[in-house]
Amino acid sequence: MEDEDRPASVSALNPSSRDDAASRLSTESLERYSRDELDHRIALLEAEIARVKAHAKAAAAHRLAAEQLFGGKSS
């Protein structure tokens, strides 16, 4: 595989994105990693995705509870 499979930059996909660790990971070359290292990396990233999804779900529930208690946004 070549470097062509990497996105040019995450900021090109989402101009409002920050230069954070996840953004840098997506542009890193994977050529130097063995198959076992790639499998390990995938497992770590899947665990992080699950953690972020759980946090987003909790944040949504918290917001819903606040809106129910204090009233929703007025449009």
Q: Write out pLDDT tens, residues 31-44.
A: 999 999 999 999 99
- Is the separation of the CB atoms in 55 and 35 below 8 Å? no
Q: In terms of pLDDT, which residue wins out, 59 or 15?
A: 59
Closest CA to 1 of 48, 35, 24: 35
Calculate what percentage of the chain has a pLDDT beyond 70: 71
